[in-house]
Every structure is written in structure tokens, then in C-alpha cells.
Chains A and B, each alone.
Chain A
């Protein structure tokens, strides 16, 4: 057709030759998700999963995150014994949970507790997207609400690292209600003068971004993290709008005034430590 003349799109697919495929030994090396450079896993891990070549932030799991932030040996976990009861008897849900428990060694997609960051005690929650995409159901809501309540009772700050695809379908409206449950807990904590810091990591979307992730006194994000309410595909389908390449990235949100700061993973520990210190007492003499 005539319009094909103006269309430069290739009509064939290119298949890489055998020689161009790099054989990567399982476990020893990793190809950067962004720049495709082959990196030693060990090198990547000592660099907190940030690509030494391009600076891309690969995900950290919950315990890697805790190790990277807390003073050695100070972290004490809360409520690790809570697991889902499949409240809606949703088909296949129990099997999926069992699989994720085995895969991650976690009982749910969030680890909560308290510990010392640069010597300062803080309550903490970190989500782990390896577990059901970090989706939020009853257990996650309960653990986070309890952690916030503990922080209120102990008068210590609360820091949350989010990584979630949103609410968990298999618990239906109970998942949705965890958004309000955690938000009510945050309101109580905030009214009592508590400091809350939210750090959004890749990805933070849906019901999690539309509740506690956005409710910190400070809202931060890691570089390149995907953050948003509605999924990109849904927006494209419903509005037929062309979306910019950086749409819903941390940098996009910063540009539109939705974040306080985008913080490189290597600076997080330092900045959190500084911020905690600044909130220990006000400027006026007591």
C-alpha cells in the first residue's frame, strides 16, 4: 500500500546468530537489565545491585535492603508468623502462596521490625517484590499497620520502602481495605508527632502508591523506579494518548512535583541517618 512507502518499519525479524549470543554461566554473572553489560554477580552485590557501568538500580530483596541500611546486627523482626488464610477461598491462591514462601523464604511480601540506622532507633517496613509482586493483602496491611502502631507507642520514626504492583486480587475487597487501614494508622501516628519517611522503589503502583507510599512526611524514590496509580497499558488503551518514555519514572514524578527527592541507593543510608538526626529535637530549647 501507498502508506507503506512512508513507513520505515522493518517487516522482518532479526534473529541473533549463534556467535553473537553470549553464554552466561548461571549464577556467576548477570547481564544488566538496562545497558546489557555482563557483570560479576559478586561485584553487583557489593555495589548494592547498582550497575557499575550505567548506574541502573536492580531490585534488592527485603533482607539485602535491611543489611544495606541498618547498623550491623541491630534489626529485630516483628510479626513474621502471620500468613494468609485465603479468606475468599480463591482458587489456586494457597498453592501460589506456598510456592512464593519457598522461593523467597518469606511468609509475606513485607518484612517489618525495628533497628538502628546510624545509631538511631527506627521502625521499618520493607516490601519484597519477589513475593507475589509485593502485592498487598490482609497480612501485609496488618503487618504495616502494627509496625506503625508500634512506632507510635515507642515514639520512634517509621520508614517504609515500597515495592509493589498494588492490591492483591485474590483477597478482593479485603485488600482494598488495607489501603484505608494503613492510612488510618498513619493518621494516628502523624497526629502524635511521628516522623514517617517513604522510599518508593521499583515498582510502586496501584493501591500501594495510592496509600502509604504517598503519605510520608518525606516521599523519596530510587532512580528509575516505576511509580504510578494506573498502569501504562491501561492509560494507553483508555485515552489513546502517546505517553512520554520517562512516564511514571521517579524522575518524571520529581519533575511534576510529586516527590521530595530522588536518591541514589549509595546515598540512602547517609541521607536517612541525617534526616533522622534532624528530627530528634526541634529548634526551640526545651
Chain B
């Protein structure tokens, strides 16, 4: 069963009507091709109108769409010979993060990403893509390895946030996230981060310190979920829609705020409509950025990374 979002319903209804007319034309003597053409034109306009003007809350729904492609989907499309490796060598393996080595074109790279499940069973196994400390520590172990063997690192960000649980606190969720932020700052290889779905708070950021940060058109990146913000600010999680608008969490917002380097366009109706097309769009940006980053010396790379983060934030002097 395909998930249809509320605001997409007019499109779906019109599509059904057109299909009905087509069927009718085929079965009967009456020629309705002119009417069909008119409706198809109207469908085009309607799609343009709806998908071309998505409101923040609609993008949130897109980012959370059940069929939205995940890290492993993109790994399958963009890389070859992917080998997944496990464990943080300390406590366990966290399946909310996948990590390993692969070829991108002809260069070896390290690929790391949050991994949601596609169904309830897989979601439970992967903790709905919400990593525990050992997940972040596994990611860091692989980043250090990439650093040693001079492999670029590509991170896919797609999580509601880090796991909020008793055991995660006991094992140092804060420290695990903080450590990644700090160590990623010092990696001597190019790091490219791509937000593909939800970029939820510190749990997303812990894979998100890099030389380039990209966002898919309908992905989000925020300090807290809109529901959480509404609950905190206005004591009413029902005001999530308003919070989504006030907090500026969409890709165009982040681009405007100078945090994201580029927005990666999505096929009409969202990434899940055409994974291959989406992968092609990512590919273009990824290839270009790696080419740009590869010419920098280690010193230049680290200096530019610092410059990039140093300028984030807005304030005034009195």
C-alpha cells in the first residue's frame, strides 16, 4: 500500500479520474481524448502547483515518507563492491548505523549512514534509525580507518535523533556524539555529508561535520523535532506545524542560513517516486565536490573546515 499524503490527494484523485476516462474511451464508442488531454494538462499544472510550492510541514511529511529511500538504497545505486563492517570493538554493533567500504567510481571510499527500517520488524532491529552510543563509536572507528588509509568519507544523514534511553545515557550518549563532532573536525580526508531524510538534532550532527553539507530538496535539519519544539515552547505538540514554520528547518531555509552548500533536487513528488533519478542527482553533486576537495592539501582542508564552521551563527555587537 502506497502512502498518500493529505496534500497529494487532489493529484491522486485527478489521476484516478483520467484513468477512468481512458478506460471508458477504450471500452465504448465515445471519443474522450480531448477531455483527457485537458485533464492531463490540468494535472501537470496541479502537480507543478503543489510539488513546486511545498510548505515546511509538507516537506516534513515528505522527509518522513514511509517509502523514502534510505542509506542502503543509495549505497546500492551510487557505489560498487560495498562491504559492510560491524561493531565498535567495545560494546556491540548498532544497526541504526551502517558503515563500510566501497568504490565510488574508481576510488575507494568509506560510507556511513543512519539506517531506518522499511517495515516494523526491520525498524525494531534498527531502532527506527536512532543510534546508540556504540553506533556513533562504530562510525568514528570507521572514520579513523578512512583517515589512516586516505579514503574520502561520505555520510548519509537520516535520523529522528539519537536514541533516548536509559542504557544510551549509561553508556555516554552525550560523550559519543561530542567525540564525533570533535574528531570529525580533524579528519585529514575529505568528508561529504548528505541529509537524505530527517536531520534530527545532535543525533544527526554526529555524522554531520564535514567539508560539504548537502540536503535533498525535501529533507529537514533541525535542533529538535517540530513536535518537540511545540511541546517545549507552547506546551502543545499539536502546534508542530507552526513550529516547523518558525524554526526554519527545510533545505531552502538552511541554504539561506548559509549552513548547507547546495540543495540536491528531487524528482517531482519526492525522492521515493524515482530512486534512480534521485541517485543520479546525488551523484552529480558528490562527484563535483570530491573533485573540488581532492586538490586541497591536508592543511588547507582543515583550515577551510574551520573557516566553514567559524562563520555559522548570527549575532550583533553593541
A residues within 8 Å of B by Cβ?
Answer: 81-85, 87-88, 90-91, 107, 137-139, 141-142, 145, 167-181, 183-188, 190-191, 206-207, 209-215, 227-231, 234-235, 238-239, 241, 243, 247-248, 256-258
Q: Does the CB pair A213–B209 fall under 8 Å?
A: no
Give the residue of B164, B173, B318 whose beta carbon is less than 8 angstroms from that of A239.
B164
Does B149 interact with chain A (Cβ within 8 Å)?
no
Chain A residues, Cβ within 8 Å of B174: 209-210, 213-214, 227-229, 258
Give the residue of A107, A139, A145, A180 whose beta carbon is less than 8 angstroms from that of B209.
A180
Residues facing A in B67-91 (CB within 8 A) are none
Q: Does the CB pair A207–B166 fall under 8 Å?
A: no
Closest B-chain residue to A190, C-beta based?
Answer: B182
State the majority secondary structure of interface residues on A: helix
Residues facing A in B118-174 (CB within 8 A) are 162, 164-166, 168-174
Closest A-chain residue to B247, C-beta based?
Answer: A172
**Interface size class of chain B, counting residues whose CB lies under 8 Å from the partner chain:** 35 or more
Q: Does the CB pair B186–A174 fall under 8 Å?
A: no
Can you name 10 extra interface pairs (CB under 8 A) apart from A176-B222, A214-B174?
Answer: A88-B246, A138-B315, A172-B223, A172-B249, A173-B221, A173-B248, A174-B257, A183-B181, A229-B164, A235-B166
Closest A-chain residue to B312, C-beta based?
Answer: A177
CA A91 – CA B247 in complex, angstroms? 10
Does B7 interact with chain A (Cβ within 8 Å)?
no
CA A184 – CA B222 in complex, angstroms? 20
If A138-B313, A174-B313, A177-B309 touch, does A169 touch B229 (CB 8 Å cutoff)?
yes
Chain B residues, Cβ within 8 Å of A243: 166
- Within the complex, what minimum Cβ distance (angstroms) separates B231 from chain A? 10
If A85-B316, A169-B233, A184-B309 touch, does A175 touch B166 (CB 8 Å cutoff)?
no
- Within the complex, what minimum Cβ distance (angstroms) separates A38 from chain B? 33
If A173-B254, A181-B312, A235-B164 touch, does A186 touch B247 (CB 8 Å cutoff)?
no
- Within the complex, what minimum Cβ distance (angstroms) separates A143 from chain B? 9
Closest A-chain residue to B169, C-beta based?
Answer: A228
